[in-house]
Amino acid sequence: MKAAADVCAEFGLACDVRVISAHRTPQDLSKFAADAHKRGIKVIIAGAGGAAHLPGVTAAFTPLPVIGVPIMTKSLKGLDSLLSIVQMPAGIPVGTLAIGRAGAVNAALLAAAVLALYDEALAARLDEWRTAQTESVAERPSNEA
């Protein structure tokens, strides 16, 4: 999830990074999620591995958008995490992204895109980032493989 925090920092987005467990600290999670909107949080990114209930339980306690990132696990390489997060019942939405680092990066980019709907300066930075990404793609394969 460090990759998500790094992307948020790159875009100048404040982020509140915490370790909260849906199973081991459920009271902390319910308070965090229920009060998030009052604290000015606009989007929540929740990474979880294994049973991976964190994003879903978070979404149950808040009306804010929740983006779930499945964490890579040793036993099933994150597939358990992915299936736990993606299979939410109707009425408790969680946007689920890819397993691991790619999912964390994309979670931050998706959060930035949501916030950019109401922030023209952020929208411009996001456009610049995407343009730079496009321009970084080589037209021809490198001989350095």
**Domains of the chain: residue spans and CATH:** 2-132 (3.40.50.1970)
User: Which pLDDT value is given to residue 142?
Assistant: 76
User: Which pLDDT value is given to residue 64?
Assistant: 98
User: Which pLDDT value is given to residue 17?
Assistant: 95
pTM of the model: 0.91
SS (H, E, C) the chain: CHHHHHHHHHCCCCCCCCCCCCCCCHHHHHHHHHHCCCCCCCCEEEEECCCCCHHHHHHHHCCCCEEEEECCCCCCCCHHHHHHHHCCCCCCCCEECCCCHHHHHHHHHHHHHHHHCCCHHHHHHHHHHHHHHHHCCCCCCCCCC
Instruction: Collect the ranges in the chain with pLDDT lower than 50.
Output: none
Residues of the chain with pLDDT > 90, as a percent, come to: 92
